[in-house]
Structure 1
C-alpha cells in the first residue's frame, strides 16, 4: 500500500474504532480501549463479528467481517460493533463472556441485539412438520441436525421437522434422505 491509499479494511477499522470511542464517551461502559485489538475477517460467511479473549495478555480482539460491512449500511454495522464491545467489556471485567442476563442488560443499554443477524442467506432451513407449530431454524452448514434430522426434534413443540436445501428446494427428514438429496444434486450441492 502506498502513502494515502486506503483499503476497505482500513475504512472498516477506522469507523469501528471511532464508533467505539463514541459509545464509551456516551455510556457508562467501562472499557479499556488500549486493551482491545481490532482485526478484519475476510473468511467469515455468516458471523458479522466476534470477540476473542487472551486472558494471559488481558487483551480482547474484536474481529469484524468485511463481507458484512460491505452488505450492511453503517447503522446496521454499528450495532455489530456495539455487540462486540459488550463482549469485550465482559471479558475485561469478568474474564468471560456469553449472551446471558448480564450481557443482555448491557446490550440493551447500548441498543445492541443479543445476537447479530447473519448477513448471508442460510444454506438449509429446518421447518417443524406439526400443523400448529411454525418453528423454523436457519443453518449455514451441514450440521448433525441437517444430516440426521430424525435424531432431533423441533425447538418449540418437540415434533419432527424437515430440512430444506434452500438453493434447490429439496427436502428430507432422515439421514438417507440427506444422502439422497446430496447425491442427486451433485455439483449443485
Structure 2
C-alpha cells in the first residue's frame, strides 16, 4: 500500500491467510510454492468460503476467500478453510488437477483441514417434500431451475412432489406461476 490508502478488511484477510500459509508450509511440510500463489477476497460469495483456481498457462493458483465467511467464522475455523484451499493449490502445483478424492482427503486430514465447511449464509430458498412420510429438504441460495419451476422436478428421496419456500417471507409455491406470483407479491422484499 502507498501512503494515504486505507487498510481494508480484504487486506486483513489476505495478510492473515498468507501468514497462516507460511506456518502450514513450515509446520506440516506442505510442498506449496507460495511464490506461485495469488490471493483475493470475494465480497459476493454466499455459499463457498473459499475456492482455488488454477491457471495452467501461468502455473499460478489463485486462492479466493469469502469475506462473509471471515466475518462469520472464528479464526480457527477460517484457518481451516485456508488449509483446505492450500491442499487444492498443492494438488494443482504437483499434479495439474485437484478435486476432493482420496489424495485430497488424505492430505487435508494430515493438515487438519475440513473436507467441507459449514454454511455461513442463510439460504434464500428451502425445498421440502410434500409427502407425509418423507422429511427430505434442500436449500438454495439462488433461484435455480428447481426453485423457479418445482413442478418439473421431484423429491430427492422419494420422488414425490415438493414445494419451495422463500425463507425470509415464508411464502411457498409448487409451480412456475407460483414462483412468479410470490416474486411479484414480495416486490422489493424479494
> TM-score scaled to structure 1, two decimals?
0.89
Indicate conservation of the 8 Å contact 1:83/1:116, yes or no. Answer: no
SS at match of 1:167: coil
Give the CA RMSD over aligned residues: 2.0
Matching residue of 1:153: 154
Range moving further from structure 2, 148-157 or 87-96:
148-157
Equivalences for 1:157-168 in 2 at 5 Å?
157-168=158-169
Which string of whole-angstrom CA distances, capped at 9 and with x for unpartnered residues, describes residues 135-173 of structure 1?
Answer: 222111100010111222222333322111001101112
> TM-score scaled to structure 2, two decimals?
0.89
Cα distance, 1:112–1:135 mapped onto 2, change above 3 Å:
farther
Equivalences for 1:38-53 in 2 at 5 Å?
38-53=39-54
Cα distance, 1:68–1:150 mapped onto 2, change above 3 Å:
same
Matching residue of 1:64: 65
Matching residue of 2:32: 31
- Cα deviation for residue 29 of structure 1 reads 2.8
Matching residue of 1:113: 114
- Cα deviation for residue 26 of structure 1 reads 2.6
- Cα deviation for residue 3 of structure 1 reads 6.9
- Cα deviation for residue 185 of structure 1 reads 1.4
* Structure 1 unaligned residues grouped into runs of 5+: none
CA distance in 2, matches of 1:134, 1:101: 31
Give yes or no for the alignment of 1:86 onto 2:87.
yes
